[in-house]
Amino acid sequence: MSESPAQPKIEIRGLNLQFPGKSRGSTVDVLRGIDLAVADGEFVCLVGPSGCGKTTLLNVVGGFLPPTSGKVEIDGEAVSAPDPRRVFIFQENGVFPWLTVEENIGFGLGKKPEAERRAIVRQYIEIMRLSGFERSYPRELSGGMKQRVELARALATEPDVLYMDEPFGALDYLTRLRLRAELIQLWQRIDPTILFVTHDVEEAVQLADRIVVMEQRPSRIREVVPVPLPRPRDPGDPQYQRLRDRIFALMGLDPLGLDGDGG
């Protein structure tokens, strides 16, 4: 495991989560002994086998699920519920279909003066290349444009933590590449702490400062892998490819996505 930050933004210690089992009085271990520290402004990706508990861990850290035992703290305070300073982008598209692009982006800015709110919305419309679609509704947008709207809405509120659950998983390959690059540019500009769940190892290596590899349920952290590559990252770089292959190996797969024994 890599070293933990000295003064973490997010600290998870001894985290265990159990769900009720099918038979009376039984339980199912979902997360077991999770320890992780995330620095302020760090970009951390969670990867692991399907169903291993990546999204569940994200929901616990975000305050949507209480742990069975252990602790989650942000800025030294225990997490007990969702916090408006910390924003989720879920796997399912979360834009509001009854609001226009500019209304969606400005949704979380209602407490700001009107002139300031309009300026922020205009800024993010330009940043996310949505000019000309300000008064369009989500049904009139492509999948990639909807994700741009959702990302703009999340970042317009200037969150200190951003939780992202496979936000690009339903998009085509080229759109995913563009949105990854745009996300990195926005993250470098605004500097939130990001916890990003993905099933895509290439995506994790392209985005993360560190990659948390989780095991099959009951899930533990198998290893935390630093990604010391400068951005933007070249998938053809031998070091990039070695890191990608190492993550696959930790997950018990070869680079083609097959079992490690080739089966």
Side-chain-side CA neighbours of 64 within 13 Å: the count stands at 12
Question: What would the pLDDT profile of 200-237 be if each residue is shown by its tens digit?
Answer: 999 999 999 999 999 988 889 999 999 999 999 999 99
What pLDDT digit, counting tens, does each position of 12-71 carry?
999 999 988 778 877 888 999 999 999 999 999 999 988 889 999 999 999 999 999 999
φ and ψ at residue 104, rounded to 5 degrees: -60, -50
Would you state the CATH architecture of domain 1-85+159-263? Answer: 3-Layer(aba) Sandwich (3.40)
Find tokens 């989650």 and name the residue: 72
Residue with tokens 């703290």: 73
Distance CA 97, CA 99 (A): 6
What does the angle CA 214 – CA 74 – CA 189 come to, to the nearest 5 degrees?
85
Q: Where are the alpha helices (DSSP H) in 78-142?
A: 101-105, 114-127
Domain regions of the chain by residue span: 1-85+159-263, 94-158
Give the 3-state secondary structure of residue 246. Answer: helix
Distance CA 213, CA 219 (A): 10
- Give the pairing type, strands 210-214 and 27-38: unpaired
Q: What is the pTM of this model?
A: 0.89
**Three-state DSSP class for 144?**
helix
188: Cβ contacts below 8 Å, ≥ 6 apart: 231
Q: Are the beta carbons of 219 and 51 closer than 8 angstroms?
A: no
Report pLDDT digits (tens) over 69-118: 999 999 999 999 999 899 999 766 678 999 999 999 999 898 899 999 99
Give which of 59, 51, 66 is closest to 217, Cα–Cα. 51
